[in-house]
Amino acid sequence: MKAFFVALALASICLPVEAEEFLERYNVDITETTMSGLSSGAFMAHQLDLAQWDIVGGVALIAGGPYRCSKGRLTFAVDKCMQPNIDGGPDAQESLRMALEAERKGLIPPLSNLVDDKVYIFSGTLDSTVTPVASIALRNLYNRMGVKQIEYSGSVPAGHAMVTHDYGNDCASSKSPFIVDCDIDGAGDILAHLVGGLKPKSESLTGRIVEFGQAEFARIPEAISMAETGYVFVPQACAEGEPCRLHVSLHGCHQNVASIGMKYITDTGFLPWADSNNIVVLFPQTVARYDVALLNPNACWDWWGYSGDRNYATRYGHQIIAIRSMIDRIAQ
């Protein structure tokens, strides 16, 4: 495989992207997989955590809400889960009941296995898109499931965005690309909690960004609002066969590559930490859909059933299966 290794300044990283037809395998222990997501990516990462607990050791949820809060309805997604205007807002006990029902039906594994999870939850105090009550309900849900290792950050005056130490819009902003400068290393805080024992982040990157075809993992990606192409960051040590970890990072609505270019991948702060700590970072991608049969104009992840997939929040959900298949490939 042809590789590109470049030294970079850490602000607004610009890495050449290497195209490959297939996602490659690395020396990764699948049971140490961690995940993070922003907004719709947080809702999806939360669904993955419950549906794929056998491989997920930790999850970071930024501006997300509790399991199946939408009950498969767009109106509930917008006015109940994000803005608590109807039906009492997001309810941890109600989500727990739905999760237990899914467990009884064999749609998700036993919730008892989540107790050793490491969970990081972030909500900006100025986030008016997914209001802090959603993240509070999410924290309460994990508490009810017996999870002990929860770190909750709810005091930063941030908008609806990923916080960074020195890149992006003003901290209070909720505008594209939904990355804000709050003088806080959000990616570092996330990985410190989920992985721990981090070495200092790289001052210059040795790794590379590889694009790969997602059609291998979803036969017709567009049919489930996934893009033809996904991305993975591979530290040089991982490319050379050293033991590595895997982190899956899920963008939010309006944050796919088609919307904001590579900014979510290069500018959210994960790459310098991943590079020095032997962490492969997978960045799956959605695509906007505008047709009546599948209306997803903002390229969100499916957390309210827009794809028509009744199992969207379970181990049998089409997007969940696709992401799990990517993880299986990387870690085998």
Catalytic residues: 39, 127, 160
Q: By C-alpha distance, which of 309, 283, 287 is closest to 299?
A: 287
Q: How far apart are CA 212 and CA 29, in angstroms?
A: 21
- Going from the C-alpha of 69 to that of each of 47, 139, 177, 266, the distances in angstroms are 11, 14, 26, 31
Structure-token pair, residue 169: 């819009």
The reply to whether omega before 90 is within 30° of 0 (cis) is no
163 forms beta bridges with 180
Q: Which residue has the tokens 């796919």?
A: 256
DSSP 273-314: HHHHTTEEEEE--B--EEETTEEETT----SS-TTS-TTTTS
The token pair that represents 77 in the structure block: 């997604």
Cα separation, 284 vs 113, in Å, equals 26
Hey, how many other C-beta atoms are within 10 angstroms of the C-beta on 324? 22
